[in-house]
A and B are shown apart, each in its own frame.
Chain A
């Protein structure tokens, strides 16, 4: 099998009964999709459920699939809809959630004394970045995640999220501004970057 096949072709082959094509497709997209879902809903269990839901829809709708757009657009459009459904279901409970930034900090970073300096700086940077990312409004975060994880251009992101291209671009700009500002003002990031630049 030619791995370089286009994703849409692989999906069409799976539709026609080629299971190996689906395995390749899944292998290509499992990481970005999972990270998109995880960073959008910020809960591993929910991300796993949504991940299964998205692939389940891809599998069950394979007969209707037509290669009118990139497969990535198709896949993340489904993922976006799943996230929207999830947010609607959780909207009542979301108000009572604790600060997700704290959750991420606790989950993703180890105590500083267990790590060497470089690792410490890296983890601090990562923690700050995750916190800034989690602090973004959901729409801006989604556009940023789609841009980073999928490689879709702004037009495709606009299609996936169901907004106009200018709206998507504006959301991305807002997200970048906030992330940049948060990282600039974070002393941990500043020190980490200083260490990194002195090493260079």
Chain B
């Protein structure tokens, strides 16, 4: 058994003073072949020149990396927000809008004269049935015959004319009107002040005069008589209830759009 190397001998070796080190250094010092040297040096050279050739491209990409990454992140975040937050809201709104449409569909089936109208589709059908009379709020001037008459004519053309409704100055029951005209009625209901909405048919002429509220039958009778209706409007105007008078005039014009054409006012030069 060989004696192990003691610490002093090991320290001598560490200090490069050992015979073993000398023996090793005396060994033939092999070197890599010349071809190997050339291959490695040429590789180092080519890598260096390759780097030079690629440098502008790399700097270009590095320069654009941050803005492109930022833009991509923004697009991604926007898409995610759109899909998660906004899209459900839009869908919910569409579904909400589609619900009244579904409610209108049966009445459209029962009324074949009802024309297809996107706006009318959004209006609940039940409300029309509760309104016995037509309002034409789109007529702004008493002498104007354009919007109200055109809409009414269109409605008449679209709907089969009942036999008893041959005259334009006669009142038409709401149930017999096409959906478009009913829609106009609905629109005016939204636009007019609350008292007019509350009772357009029954006692509409006595708005603002709560003590003079008449039964619905009397109001219908009054509205069937244009002269009496105009007189009532004049009374309202004379009583200082200009807004109510204007409202009633609009309703009058909606119901009798051609009235002033056939019955010119006394002061009308036409």
A-B complex is real: yes
Q: With an 8 A cutoff between CB atoms, is B10 at the interface?
A: yes
Q: Which B residues, 43 to 77, have Cβ-Cβ distances below 8 Å to chain A?
A: 43-45, 47-48, 51-52
> A14-B44, A179-B20, A183-B23 known; A48 and B28 CB under 8 Å?
no
Contact with B along A167-200 (1 / 0, CB 8 A): 0000001001101110111000000000000000
Contact with B along A74-109 (1 / 0, CB 8 A): 000000000000000000000000000000000010
CA distance in complex: A184, B9 (Å): 15
CB proximity of B23 to chain A, nearest CB, Å: 5
CB nearest neighbor in B for A17 = B48
Q: With an 8 A cutoff between CB atoms, is A158 at the interface?
A: no
CA distance in complex: A200, B74 (Å): 84
Interchain CB contact under 8 A, B25 and A30: no
Interchain CB contact under 8 A, B4 and A56: no
CA distance in complex: A192, B5 (Å): 22
CB proximity of B22 to chain A, nearest CB, Å: 10
Among the stretches B34-42, B81-89, B140-148, B223-231, the one at the interface with A is B34-42
Contact with B along A98-140 (1 / 0, CB 8 A): 0000000000100000000000001001100110010000000
* Contact partners of A17 in chain B: CB under 8 A: 48, 51-52
CA distance in complex: A180, B20 (Å): 7
What is the interface residue range for chain B against chain A? 20 to 34
* Contact partners of A60 in chain B: CB under 8 A: 47
CA distance in complex: A183, B30 (Å): 22
CA distance in complex: A34, B52 (Å): 30
Q: Which B residues, 162 to 185, have Cβ-Cβ distances below 8 Å to chain A?
A: none
CA distance in complex: A48, B37 (Å): 10
CB proximity of A146 to chain B, nearest CB, Å: 12
Interchain CB contact under 8 A, A30 and B32: yes
CA distance in complex: A171, B13 (Å): 14
CB nearest neighbor in A for B2 = A181
* Contact partners of B32 in chain A: CB under 8 A: 30-31, 34, 48, 51
Q: With an 8 A cutoff between CB atoms, is A159 at the interface?
A: no
Q: With an 8 A cutoff between CB atoms, is B26 at the interface?
A: yes
Interchain CB contact under 8 A, A19 and B45: yes
> A30-B31, A108-B28, A148-B24 known; A173 and B10 CB under 8 Å?
yes
Q: With an 8 A cutoff between CB atoms, is B105 at the interface?
A: no
* Contact partners of B51 in chain A: CB under 8 A: 17
**B33 partner, pick from A48, A55, A59, A177, beta carbons under 8 A:** A48
CB proximity of A174 to chain B, nearest CB, Å: 9
Q: With an 8 A cutoff between CB atoms, is A52 at the interface?
A: yes
**B24 partner, pick from A51, A56, A59, A129, beta carbons under 8 A:** A129
**A130 partner, pick from B21, B27, B45, beta carbons under 8 A:** B27
Q: With an 8 A cutoff between CB atoms, is B130 at the interface?
A: no
Interchain CB contact under 8 A, B45 and A52: no
CA distance in complex: A52, B40 (Å): 7
> A55-B43, A56-B43, A60-B47 known; A148 and B25 CB under 8 Å?
yes
- By a beta-carbon cutoff of 8 Å, the part of chain B in contact with chain A is 2, 4-5, 10, 13-14, 18, 20-21, 23-33, 36-37, 39-41, 43-45, 47-48, 51-52
Given contacts A30-B31, A52-B40, 6 further A-B contacts (CB under 8 A): A17-B51, A30-B37, A34-B32, A38-B30, A129-B23, A129-B24
* 22 residue pairs bridging A and B, Cβ less than 8 Å apart: A17-B48, A17-B52, A19-B44, A26-B41, A30-B31, A31-B30, A31-B32, A35-B29, A38-B30, A48-B32, A52-B40, A62-B47, A125-B26, A126-B27, A129-B23, A129-B24, A129-B27, A176-B20, A177-B2, A179-B20, A180-B2, A181-B2
- List of 6 A-B pairs having minimum Cβ-Cβ separation, nearest first: A181-B2, A34-B32, A55-B40, A22-B44, A59-B47, A148-B24
